[in-house]
A and B are shown apart, each in its own frame.
Chain A
Amino acid sequence: MSNKKLIQLSSFFLKLKSQPMTAVLFLCASFSIIILFLMLFFVAQEGAYAFTQFGSDLLFGMRWDLESNIFGGLPLLFGSLMVTFGALIIAIPIGVSTSIFVSEVLPFYLRDPIKSIIELLASIPSVLYGFIGLLVVVPFIQDVFGLPSGQTALTASAILSIMTIPTIVSVSGEIISAVPKNYKEAALGLGATKWETIKSVVLPISKSGILASIMLGFGRAVGETIAVSMVSGNQAHIASSYFEAIYTIPSFIATHMGEAAVGSTEYSALFGLGLILLIITFIVNTLADVVVKRGVHQ
């Protein structure tokens, strides 16, 4: 750290010392950082034993067997990524087209009601999504595809996509409606149709924002626990198609934490899985932030 930066930093903290109210406010604002660090610390601490014991096998091992003390999370990681990608494949086209439609085509007085409905979708708790999935989607998929059980990766992806759409719509909608009006008017003035304007002006400008919204959607989907564990069948294996049951990291943690004895190897391995999940979402969210900021700068 250079001298100048050090002086800046110390004057920042001196100022806090002389103004107690500012210091209190600063402390509240730093809470998020403190909590994040504590979270990383505690999850890593509890999972450390499993990592020293199994190393990368925790991530790439094929078998999770309590009796023979083998803990490999690859089928779970595979299951997580499989349902997340499935959900995104459904959610991206719907989400992006919805946000374009809401902020470009829809008449002004309809925007608030539609946005409110999307917000309501976002606030429905995951246990209710899981419930509806079990009640409606599971039997539906079982009948339509003639499967022995409707609890498949496809079911989980379908439910997850409905949960991911609000994230994609709200973030990319914000970026799309921030496109300067005169850009659009210039294109329209040159004789472009509304659709041509959207395609060649609005979309290229808001590209990075849309990308960020997809990444945030990924982060939300990969960590979804309750709904997925209710409809995905919960079988840890490398599924060869979306019509098979799978197990994801978060739902595995949720269903196994209760049985694992505190301090046991399994307990530590579950925290190890949690750490992997935390790091994945951490990277994705940070990248999304960077992408948005760079997009705004341009």
Chain B
Amino acid sequence: MSPLLPEDTLRLYRSRRGRLAGGICRGLSLHLGVSVWLVRVTFLIFTFLGGLGAFAYAGFWIFVPLREVPDSERSPQRPPVRLFLLTLCALGLLVLFGLPMVRPTQLHTIIPLAAVALGLAVLWRQADDAQRAETPQPRTRVAHMVRIGLGAVVALGGLLALTTTRSGWAETGRVVIAALALLVGAALIGLPYFLRVLRDLAHERTERARSQERAEVAAMMHDSVLHTLTLIQRCQDDPAQVARLARAQERDLREWLYGERKTAAESFAEALRTAAAEVEDRHGVRLDVVTVGDSPLDPQLEACVAAAREAMVNAAKYAPEAAISVFAELAEDRVEVFVKDRGPGFDLDQVAPDRMGVRGSIVGRMHRHGGHAEIRTAPGEGTEVRLTAKRSAARAARPGAAEETQQTQQAEKSEKAER
């Protein structure tokens, strides 16, 4: 099987059932979806035209395998329009080449005729495949054009050879014009039908896309929304749990509807949102994340996200009631993250420096990455943690970056050991 042919091409078989001789006519009729008698008569006519039909029959008998033709390999019955067109073409060919052939057994008439037939067969097959294929791939489309071109060249070459061997160039011109006229006529007859096929195909395509989308939405609804609603009904006595479920589902849906579908690894903003989502899930609070600017993560930005996450956890612990605002701005030369809660706040001076949980995980982390952290709070004013760091534009691409990461990791390890 040539790799160029699409998978779902119908294969031609000699039919085991309902055959008179080799099962070729029956097989062809099933393959093309036309009446078996039409095929038989065609073979008969061509047999009288210099034995061409007999030649073809023999060829088919040799090369086409005999078997029960499965339903999947049968064409649907062609509409009468096409039958009519086919007959017309056959008749046209007969009138053009068949009738003048008085001594057709000569090789120089049979070979061009065979060439014409071959070319037409290739063209026919292309048209057939194109109609059946749902969405031609670019690669097969190129192959497609090549094959159509080849078919046309072979057919035209055969036509020219046929006409020039028998007469002078003047005659050839006339015959070519006649052939062209025939082609134009056939095109005119076939055009509306062809257009309708195209329209049907386009319609079917949009229909398919639509149903696919519907299926995707349905799957999403089923997997997440319905599931969450069921869970909510089941734990209606626990408001905190209900709120958490609803919030998580809201986030998922938002992500699905408006999300940028970036992974946390390639986007600072996404990493921050992921961190916020985790804190929301774990502590049952609401975090509003706003980001300006974005960039792929590097060690410094990772540290920022980690520190910000720590600040979010603190806010969630001390101010679980009101919404927590997270704002991150990533500019060319600096990164800033603010985590603000509307909780009770506290007096910074009253807290012993060594007792502050934020020392190592927030302040220390930022320091190691060339930034600093700052906490603003007062009783009744809420708390805001501000993280800033200077950025050099070439930071991520700098060769020493990996080394630096290692140092950082070591520093963080030793920090853990200290605790």
Q: Do A and B actually bind?
A: no
List the interface of chain A (C-beta within 8 A of B).
none
B interface with A by C-beta (< 8 Å): none
